[in-house]
Amino acid sequence: MWISRFTQWCECKMCSIKPVRELYSYAYKKVVMEEIDLAELNKADNVLFIGGGAIPYSAMYISEYCSKVTVLDCDKCCATKAQQLIKSLDLKNIDVKYINGKHFDFSSYSIIFVPLQAEPKGEILKSIAETAPKDAKILIRSPKPSSKCYTTLDNAPIKLKKFRSLNQLTFDKTFLCSVKDITL
Ligand SMILES: C[S@@+](CC[C@H](N)C(=O)[O-])C[C@H]1O[C@@H](n2cnc3c(N)ncnc32)[C@H](O)[C@@H]1O
């Protein structure tokens, strides 16, 4: 998807310019705090974030409230830049891996975060259903109806129940589901 490639490119360019990176991250802080509250994240949680980008700001905010965050990114440049950033900020409870989330062993995670641009949703959810603990929570962002360049969750193989309304440029809801809600 062109939008995903554009985001990758922007984050790769911005990540080494501290004021730009911090401004960009700060724009999402309120939303991520709402998602942390929705999931009732706590210090016992081991979180998996699929698609962190070169500036994994969501994972950075989340890491303040849980024991560990593992971030996956299937783009080598993004994963490498994110690893360098996390190391330079000395954030010891974030681990960035260059791996595609559509084939991953989710068995050790209590919360799995599926952001807007994590694709393909169907394969990711299948992999989660096959490997994650049945009571693990899933946070999944849903695009605004006007954001036509993102895949809607209308046909995603998951029962969407509890959600938080959010006012972001590209997404307006984050759903809280569990692995048991996956319908594959
Ligand atoms: C979701 S965004 C970036 C997230 C944002 N920086 C944040 O902290 O919320 C885009 C990233 O997702 C990655 N991505 C998309 N699908 C993926 C998948 N199946 N597995 C791993 N990474 C994925 C892309 O490579 C891209 O770098």
Q: Which positions ≥6 away from 92 have C-beta within 8 Å? A: none
**10 Å Cβ neighbour count for 61?**
19
Q: Residue 169 is which amino acid? A: L
Distance 81 CA to ligand 1 centre (A): 13
The residues with which 176 forms a beta bridge, in sequence order, are 139, 162
In the DSSP assignment, the letter for residue 145 is T
Q: Is the pLDDT of residue 36 over 70?
A: yes
The minimum-distance atom of ligand 1 relative to the CA of 116 is 1
Domains defined for the chain, CATH in brackets: 2-181 (3.40.50.150)
Q: Which pLDDT tens digit goes with each residue over 74-115?
A: 999 999 999 999 999 999 999 999 999 999 999 999 999 999
Other C-beta atoms closer than 10 Å to the C-beta of 85 total 22
Q: What percent of the chain has pLDDT over 90?
A: 78
Distance (angstroms) between ligand 1 centre and the Cα of 103 equals 14
